[in-house]
Amino acid sequence: LATQTDCDTMTGALKLARKIFEQPAIAPYIECETIPGAERASEDELLDYCRVNGATVYHPIGTCKMGDDPMAVVDSSLRLRGLGGLRVVDASVMPRMVSANTNAAVLMIAEKAADMIKDAA
């Protein structure tokens, strides 16, 4: 939670989760909010909860994201911009989190990278 965007994203996620659980289709099945707890209502209280309880799920991605925007450090061929002869082939190139375990996606990235490297040889 180093930037305002990080803070807004986390508190926004908690607020969205609350809205989802208030919907008629699921609300009858919810006895009470236990995490972070209904008593935590203000922006500061939600942010404090995130700071104290936030943790990685040990599948970090996107630290060397692939793409064509200014924040992308890897091109569509997995080549590191500005440094010849180096490709990044792991979850760090994923510009967005996948909705499942990252293992399968990383295997596909590696297979594609192997093909690109062989084709370039």
**Is-catalytic flag, 59?**
yes
Q: C-alpha angle with apex 26: 98 to 33, nearest 5 degrees?
A: 85
From the candidates 18, 40, 59, 87, give the one annotated as an active-site residue. Answer: 59
The DSSP bridge partners found for residue 79 are 87
State the catalytic residues. Answer: 59
